[in-house]
Structure 1
Amino acid sequence: MAYLQVTLQIPNENRGAAAAVYQKYKALFLETIADAKSKELLARDEDVQVLHGFDTVENARRYLASKLFTDDVVTGSKPLLTADPEIRVHA
Protein backbone atom coordinates (compact mmCIF):
# COMPACT_ATOMS: atom_id res chain seq x y z
CA MET A 1 0.00 0.00 0.00
CA ALA A 2 1.17 3.55 -0.77
CA TYR A 3 -0.14 6.89 0.40
CA LEU A 4 -0.16 10.34 -1.11
CA GLN A 5 -0.35 12.97 1.63
CA VAL A 6 -1.28 16.51 0.61
CA THR A 7 -1.03 19.07 3.42
CA LEU A 8 -2.89 22.33 2.85
CA GLN A 9 -2.71 25.62 4.72
CA ILE A 10 -6.33 26.76 4.72
CA PRO A 11 -7.71 29.43 7.04
CA ASN A 12 -10.79 28.52 9.09
CA GLU A 13 -13.06 30.75 7.00
CA ASN A 14 -12.17 28.75 3.84
CA ARG A 15 -12.42 25.25 5.31
CA GLY A 16 -16.07 24.74 4.34
CA ALA A 17 -15.23 25.57 0.72
CA ALA A 18 -12.22 23.24 0.88
CA ALA A 19 -14.42 20.42 2.18
CA ALA A 20 -16.77 21.04 -0.75
CA VAL A 21 -13.87 20.63 -3.22
CA TYR A 22 -12.92 17.38 -1.47
CA GLN A 23 -16.48 16.03 -1.64
CA LYS A 24 -16.91 17.09 -5.27
CA TYR A 25 -13.96 14.99 -6.47
CA LYS A 26 -13.79 12.10 -3.98
CA ALA A 27 -16.09 9.69 -5.85
CA LEU A 28 -14.56 10.60 -9.22
CA PHE A 29 -11.09 9.92 -7.77
CA LEU A 30 -12.12 6.50 -6.44
CA GLU A 31 -13.95 5.55 -9.64
CA THR A 32 -11.51 6.75 -12.29
CA ILE A 33 -7.95 6.78 -10.95
CA ALA A 34 -6.03 3.53 -11.47
CA ASP A 35 -5.56 1.53 -8.27
CA ALA A 36 -7.03 4.28 -6.03
CA LYS A 37 -8.13 2.64 -2.77
CA SER A 38 -9.13 5.43 -0.41
CA LYS A 39 -9.32 9.18 0.13
CA GLU A 40 -9.69 10.82 3.54
CA LEU A 41 -9.92 14.43 4.68
CA LEU A 42 -8.16 15.19 7.97
CA ALA A 43 -8.91 18.62 9.45
CA ARG A 44 -6.47 19.68 12.15
CA ASP A 45 -6.07 22.98 13.97
CA GLU A 46 -2.85 23.77 12.11
CA ASP A 47 -3.75 22.50 8.61
CA VAL A 48 -5.90 20.24 6.47
CA GLN A 49 -4.56 17.00 5.04
CA VAL A 50 -5.92 14.83 2.28
CA LEU A 51 -4.66 11.26 2.46
CA HIS A 52 -5.00 9.17 -0.71
CA GLY A 53 -4.46 5.40 -0.68
CA PHE A 54 -3.04 3.50 -3.69
CA ASP A 55 -1.73 0.04 -4.51
CA THR A 56 1.70 1.35 -5.50
CA VAL A 57 3.94 4.40 -5.18
CA GLU A 58 4.01 4.65 -8.97
CA ASN A 59 0.22 5.03 -9.13
CA ALA A 60 0.31 7.68 -6.40
CA ARG A 61 2.86 9.66 -8.41
CA ARG A 62 0.92 9.11 -11.62
CA TYR A 63 -2.16 10.68 -10.00
CA LEU A 64 -0.18 13.87 -9.33
CA ALA A 65 0.20 14.28 -13.11
CA SER A 66 -3.43 13.41 -13.90
CA LYS A 67 -5.93 15.86 -15.34
CA LEU A 68 -8.21 15.29 -12.34
CA PHE A 69 -5.49 16.46 -9.95
CA THR A 70 -3.85 19.23 -11.99
CA ASP A 71 -6.91 20.74 -13.67
CA ASP A 72 -9.73 20.08 -11.21
CA VAL A 73 -8.49 19.57 -7.66
CA VAL A 74 -5.59 22.05 -7.78
CA THR A 75 -7.63 24.67 -9.62
CA GLY A 76 -10.54 24.33 -7.18
CA SER A 77 -8.32 24.46 -4.09
CA LYS A 78 -5.75 27.10 -5.04
CA PRO A 79 -7.85 30.21 -4.17
CA LEU A 80 -8.45 28.80 -0.66
CA LEU A 81 -4.76 28.29 0.24
CA THR A 82 -2.39 30.59 2.08
CA ALA A 83 0.72 28.60 0.99
CA ASP A 84 1.71 26.03 -1.59
CA PRO A 85 0.62 22.48 -0.70
CA GLU A 86 3.13 20.11 0.83
CA ILE A 87 3.04 16.81 -1.06
CA ARG A 88 4.57 13.56 0.17
CA VAL A 89 4.37 9.98 -1.06
CA HIS A 90 4.77 7.21 1.53
CA ALA A 91 5.28 3.51 0.92
Structure 2
Amino acid sequence: MAKAYLQVTLKINNSDKGAVSGIYEKFRDSFIDQIKGATSIELLIGDGYIQLLHIFDTAEDAQAFLSTELYNNNILFALKSLMVDTPRVSIYSVL
Protein backbone atom coordinates (compact mmCIF):
# COMPACT_ATOMS: atom_id res chain seq x y z
CA MET A 1 0.00 0.00 0.00
CA ALA A 2 1.24 3.49 -0.86
CA LYS A 3 2.33 5.63 2.05
CA ALA A 4 2.72 9.03 0.36
CA TYR A 5 1.47 10.97 -2.62
CA LEU A 6 3.14 13.86 -4.39
CA GLN A 7 0.66 15.90 -6.38
CA VAL A 8 1.93 18.39 -8.95
CA THR A 9 -0.76 20.56 -10.55
CA LEU A 10 0.06 22.57 -13.66
CA LYS A 11 -2.13 25.06 -15.46
CA ILE A 12 -1.85 24.50 -19.21
CA ASN A 13 -3.65 25.49 -22.38
CA ASN A 14 -6.10 22.80 -23.48
CA SER A 15 -4.35 22.69 -26.86
CA ASP A 16 -1.18 21.43 -25.10
CA LYS A 17 -2.72 18.28 -23.57
CA GLY A 18 -1.17 16.05 -26.23
CA ALA A 19 2.28 17.51 -25.69
CA VAL A 20 1.97 17.01 -21.93
CA SER A 21 0.89 13.40 -22.45
CA GLY A 22 3.99 12.83 -24.57
CA ILE A 23 6.26 14.22 -21.86
CA TYR A 24 4.54 12.01 -19.28
CA GLU A 25 5.12 8.93 -21.45
CA LYS A 26 8.75 9.91 -22.01
CA PHE A 27 9.63 10.13 -18.30
CA ARG A 28 7.22 7.64 -16.66
CA ASP A 29 9.54 4.64 -16.72
CA SER A 30 12.59 6.69 -15.66
CA PHE A 31 10.64 7.93 -12.64
CA ILE A 32 9.75 4.42 -11.48
CA ASP A 33 13.15 2.91 -12.32
CA GLN A 34 15.43 5.67 -10.98
CA ILE A 35 13.69 7.39 -8.06
CA LYS A 36 14.01 5.94 -4.56
CA GLY A 37 10.67 4.86 -3.13
CA ALA A 38 8.68 5.59 -6.32
CA THR A 39 5.99 3.00 -6.97
CA SER A 40 3.65 4.58 -9.52
CA ILE A 41 2.66 7.76 -11.34
CA GLU A 42 -0.63 8.82 -12.91
CA LEU A 43 -1.42 11.69 -15.27
CA LEU A 44 -4.80 13.30 -14.59
CA ILE A 45 -6.02 15.67 -17.30
CA GLY A 46 -8.64 18.33 -16.58
CA ASP A 47 -9.95 21.40 -18.34
CA GLY A 48 -7.02 23.83 -18.37
CA TYR A 49 -4.79 21.85 -16.02
CA ILE A 50 -3.05 18.54 -15.46
CA GLN A 51 -2.14 16.76 -12.27
CA LEU A 52 0.73 14.35 -11.88
CA LEU A 53 0.05 12.02 -8.98
CA HIS A 54 3.30 10.35 -7.89
CA ILE A 55 3.09 7.49 -5.39
CA PHE A 56 5.98 6.81 -2.99
CA ASP A 57 6.86 4.55 -0.09
CA THR A 58 7.39 7.55 2.22
CA ALA A 59 6.79 11.31 2.35
CA GLU A 60 10.56 11.71 2.66
CA ASP A 61 11.03 9.93 -0.67
CA ALA A 62 8.43 12.25 -2.22
CA GLN A 63 10.19 15.34 -0.85
CA ALA A 64 13.58 14.08 -2.01
CA PHE A 65 12.28 13.60 -5.57
CA LEU A 66 11.69 17.36 -5.82
CA SER A 67 15.47 17.86 -5.57
CA THR A 68 16.47 15.31 -8.21
CA GLU A 69 18.00 16.03 -11.59
CA LEU A 70 15.19 14.05 -13.23
CA TYR A 71 12.53 16.36 -11.77
CA ASN A 72 14.30 19.72 -12.05
CA ASN A 73 16.48 19.38 -15.14
CA ASN A 74 14.44 16.96 -17.22
CA ILE A 75 10.74 16.91 -16.40
CA LEU A 76 10.24 20.55 -15.38
CA PHE A 77 12.49 21.70 -18.22
CA ALA A 78 10.38 19.73 -20.73
CA LEU A 79 7.13 21.13 -19.29
CA LYS A 80 8.33 24.73 -18.85
CA SER A 81 7.13 26.04 -22.22
CA LEU A 82 3.69 24.47 -21.66
CA MET A 83 3.08 25.86 -18.14
CA VAL A 84 0.74 28.82 -17.76
CA ASP A 85 1.67 29.36 -14.11
CA THR A 86 4.02 28.04 -11.41
CA PRO A 87 3.29 24.40 -10.52
CA ARG A 88 1.43 23.74 -7.28
CA VAL A 89 3.09 20.95 -5.31
CA SER A 90 1.53 19.06 -2.40
CA ILE A 91 2.70 16.01 -0.44
CA TYR A 92 0.20 13.80 1.38
CA SER A 93 0.97 11.01 3.83
CA VAL A 94 -1.25 7.99 4.28
CA LEU A 95 -1.93 7.26 7.93
Considering the TM-score relative to the shorter chain, is it more than 0.5?
A: yes
Q: Distance in 1 between matches of 2:67 and 2:12?
A: 23
Q: Runs (4+) of structure 1 moved beyond 4 Å?
A: none
Find the partner of 1:75 among 73, 77, 90.
77
Q: Distance in 1 between matches of 2:59 and 2:91?
A: 7
Q: Distance in 1 between matches of 2:34 and 2:4?
A: 17
Q: Distance in 2 between matches of 1:13 and 1:72?
A: 22
**Corresponding residue pairs, total:** 91
Q: Distance in 1 between matches of 2:86 and 2:22?
A: 19
Q: Deviations over 1:24-54 (max 9, x none)?
A: 0000000110110110000012421000000
- The TM-score with structure 1 as length reference comes to 0.97
Partner of 1:23: 25
Long gaps (5+) in structure 1 = none
% identical aligned pairs: 37
Q: Which amino acid counterpart does residue 73 of structure 1 have in structure 2? A: I
Long gaps (5+) in structure 2 = none
